[in-house]
Structure 1
Amino acid sequence: MRRRAFLSGAGSAGALALAGCLTQGGGGGEPSGTLTVATYESFVDSPSSSPGGWIKQNFEAEYDDVTVEYVTPENGVTNYVQRKQQGAPVEADVYVGLNVDDLVTIDATLGDDTRLFRELDRDFVSNAEHLRPELEFGDPKSRVLPYDTGYISLVYDEEAVDEPATFDDLTSPAYEGTLLAQNAQSADSGQAFLLWTINEFGADGYLDYWRDLQANDVRILGSWWDAYSAYLESERPMVVSYSTDQVFANEDDLPMSRHRIGFLEDQGYANPEGMAVVEDSGNVDLATDFLNFMLRGETQAEIAVQNVQFPAVTDDQVDLDDSFAQYAHRPPEAVSFGYEELEGNLSGWVDEWARTIASN
């Protein structure tokens, strides 16, 4: 979850590369060498907690001659897209930290003739059968598996405002000048909130809704941290954020009254994170084993607590920490757009929003 960078002091991407032979990629014998995993910085480098260290220690414990090495490329997956465009090799085996919009953008940029990630044979990822169906990317090329998810929601101060029940409530006089949001061009949370409004009002109606939000004095800031820090400074009593924010509030002894979770229309916008095997990897079998390891119940529980995200597998597969279970809130209904809905539409929606809303 990239926003952890600001709460715990990090934020970027990492990679995983290895030398060894297994089954899916052909060959045999015991795997050995280095598995290189690319991911964002706070997945491995958060000063307080991050799942990367636990994952490395426990995966290496199963393979005596294997070392997991993380890399965090500047600009994340964009770095590897640019390398592919230049015909340069991508020196990683696994990428951890993809969103659906990343995949759509990758395909729009590279086209059909250049592949950054391999098609997965799920017969070799047995734990994938436990994934929550609503978190699947809908990737037509079967390259990505989700490993956790956040839900975009509102976080509000119950002593200053009542919980809004609907999107239309946010445009009423009672909520004038109360909401902090993020730029859909530069923040994952901002783009997810935009997509949530498109899901609610349709491609023909979302800009009118945003005009109404503007008329009601919504304040749009560049990043999630810009908006959330303004909220923490009490500049406004409500912010677009995540439904796990009470977990952080509990850990930091912040007043829970200022971290109430609001689900508009009894919904939250799901923003799953995914992982994939890099096309250039020479360690496909071990990389596939790593994906399977990431979907184990005990690994999913650790990722949930350390990354402050919900597991991607069903509840019967994972035993969550009591504190996480108490303070992390799953919406009554999860909504999201998959690959098919975003393909050919995402950039146009965001660009039109930027021209109409962000530039005014």
Structure 2
Amino acid sequence: MSTTISRITAVVAAAGLGIVTLSACGSSDSASAGGGGAASKTVTLVSHDSFVYSKAVLKAFEKESGYKVKVLKDGDAGQAVNKAILTKDNPQGDVFFGVDNTLLSRALDNGLFQSYEAKGAGTIKSEYRVDQDKHRVTPIDSGDICVNYDKAWFSEHKLTPPASLDDLIKPAYRNLLVTENASTSSPGLGFLLGSAARYGDDGWQDYWKKLRANGVKVVDGWEQAYNDEFSGSAGGKKAKADRPLVVSYASSPPAEVIYGDPKPKTAPTGVAAGTCFRQVEYAGLLSNAGNAKGGKALIDFLITRKFQEDMPLNMFVYPVVEGAQVPAEFTKYGPAAKDPETMAPARIAANRDQWVKSWTSLVLK
């Protein structure tokens, strides 16, 4: 895999986080992990493997606060959340970042976080705020799971790219789409939830029956779908992939531009704006955190403009605070969806497991 493809894989997949089944994991001592006692000057942030940051920005926080930050990456988001739940009585750190709206109820129902209202929380856009009565989590970033298309392929075949979920079941797009497994991949799950939000409890299964009849291909995860199956990505071109439609992110096109080698003058991929589902990531102060004071300071920092404006080019996500700026490439090639499908965490909690079970029986068998 070339450096370009590896870099695009790392940054575009920042929100592409697999979902795993809760399984037994050993706990580790919070002090040895950097949690320390109440007076500790080390604060430990537990997150998923895709958490990326600029060292200069984190050092600025350390200088201003007097705390030393230790980052503990603990697998993909599902794995990290599950392990944090299993070790909540003796946590590995003080703050957890990276639980998203598809998994939030699991974390809250299992008592993973303690209450803390971050300083500056009033700057967070109202549409991202949840759990306002208890303040157990703080929104940090958002991203849109959307179908991406290969511009060159559609131009060559003189076919208009799909613009909506409805379009994807039309005969013109037969055998063109690849998506991820909803039981093993966050974008795959997001795409399923988007269809449920669009067509309702009774209609989403009928939609997937039509999508399956129209030749949708399902693979385990984002990297395989985007780099091996999608003809529009740097990896897909190298692999001579033959699917010009893929479930990915609204931020994938600017990633192709920024990390292209050579850098293209325009994005080789586009976004079907009517296929998007909004994903939001949160941070919370872990129950029984060894350094709660330091953890609170770190959460405060995560919603400052300094950190919020650093995120886009590191994790290819969008800020959630008012006034935070995004890079010009985002505005030009990958703006956030104007009207994405959304779903309340409570509704996800009530239906997620059954929907995934039904989806698996319907699509994979």
Structures share fold, TM-score greater than 0.5:
yes
CA–CA distance in structure 1, aligned partners of residues 180 and 146 of structure 2: 13
- Of 163, 187, 193, the residue aligned with 1:165 is 163
Give identity over the alignment, percent.
24
Contact 1:277 1:287 survives alignment (8 Å): yes
Contact 1:5 1:42 survives alignment (8 Å): no
Aligned to 2:112: 116
Contact 2:84 2:91 survives alignment (8 Å): yes
Aligned to 1:6: 9
> Which SS does the other structure have where 2:307 is aligned?
helix
Contact 1:153 1:243 survives alignment (8 Å): yes
Alignment-mate amino acid for residue 286 of structure 2: V
Inter-CA distance 274–183: structure 2 relative to 1 (3 Å threshold):
same
Alignment-mate amino acid for residue 117 of structure 1: F
Contact 1:4 1:10 survives alignment (8 Å): no
Matched, 1:194 2:188: no
* TM norm structure 1: 0.82
- Of 251, 270, 277, the residue aligned with 1:260 is 270
CA–CA distance in structure 2, aligned partners of residues 81 and 157 of structure 1: 40
Aligned to 1:325: 331
Matched, 1:126 2:136: no
Aligned to 1:182: 180
Contact 1:305 1:324 survives alignment (8 Å): no
CA–CA distance in structure 2, aligned partners of residues 219 and 138 of structure 1: 37
Q: Deviations for 1:276-308, whole angstroms, at most 9, x for unmatched residues? A: 000011322221121111111121000122111
How far 1:352 moved relative to its partner?
A: 1.1
CA–CA distance in structure 1, aligned partners of residues 221 and 305 of structure 2: 33
CA–CA distance in structure 2, aligned partners of residues 208 and 139 of structure 1: 36
Contact 2:142 2:319 survives alignment (8 Å): yes
- Of 80, 105, 108, the residue aligned with 2:84 is 80
Inter-CA distance 9–19: structure 2 relative to 1 (3 Å threshold):
same
Q: Deviations for 1:232-278, whole angstroms, at most 9, x for unmatched residues? A: 323211111100112211123265463111111xx621101110000
Aligned to 2:99: 98
| Range 239-248 or range 332-341, more displaced | 332-341
Alignment-mate amino acid for residue 351 of structure 1: K
CA–CA distance in structure 2, aligned partners of residues 332 and 208 of structure 1: 26
Aligned to 1:25: none
Alignment-mate amino acid for residue 303 of structure 1: M
CA–CA distance in structure 2, aligned partners of residues 4 and 203 of structure 1: 38
> Which SS does the other structure have where 2:152 is aligned?
coil
CA–CA distance in structure 2, aligned partners of residues 337 and 289 of structure 1: 30
Matched, 1:340 2:349: no
> Which SS does the other structure have where 2:311 is aligned?
helix
Where does structure 2 lack aligned partners over 5 or more consecutive residues? 1-5, 19-29, 155-159
Q: State the superposition RMSD in angstroms.
A: 2.6
Contact 2:12 2:316 survives alignment (8 Å): no
Where does structure 1 lack aligned partners over 5 or more consecutive residues? 22-30, 44-49
Inter-CA distance 324–8: structure 2 relative to 1 (3 Å threshold):
closer
| Range 251-260 or range 235-244, more displaced | 251-260
How far 1:18 moved relative to its partner?
A: 4.2
> Which SS does the other structure have where 2:289 is aligned?
coil
Moved segments of 4+, more than 6 Å? 9-13
Contact 2:65 2:297 survives alignment (8 Å): no
How far 1:73 moved relative to its partner?
A: 2.3
How far 1:82 moved relative to its partner?
A: 2.2
Inter-CA distance 76–350: structure 2 relative to 1 (3 Å threshold):
same
Alignment-mate amino acid for residue 7 of structure 1: A
Alignment-mate amino acid for residue 333 of structure 2: Y
Matched, 1:149 2:159: no
Matched, 1:352 2:355: no
Inter-CA distance 287–154: structure 2 relative to 1 (3 Å threshold):
same
Inter-CA distance 140–227: structure 2 relative to 1 (3 Å threshold):
farther
> Which SS does the other structure have where 1:126 is aligned?
coil
Aligned to 1:204: 202
Inter-CA distance 52–305: structure 2 relative to 1 (3 Å threshold):
same
Matched, 1:56 2:87: no
Alignment-mate amino acid for residue 127 of structure 2: E
Contact 1:100 1:137 survives alignment (8 Å): no
* TM norm structure 2: 0.81
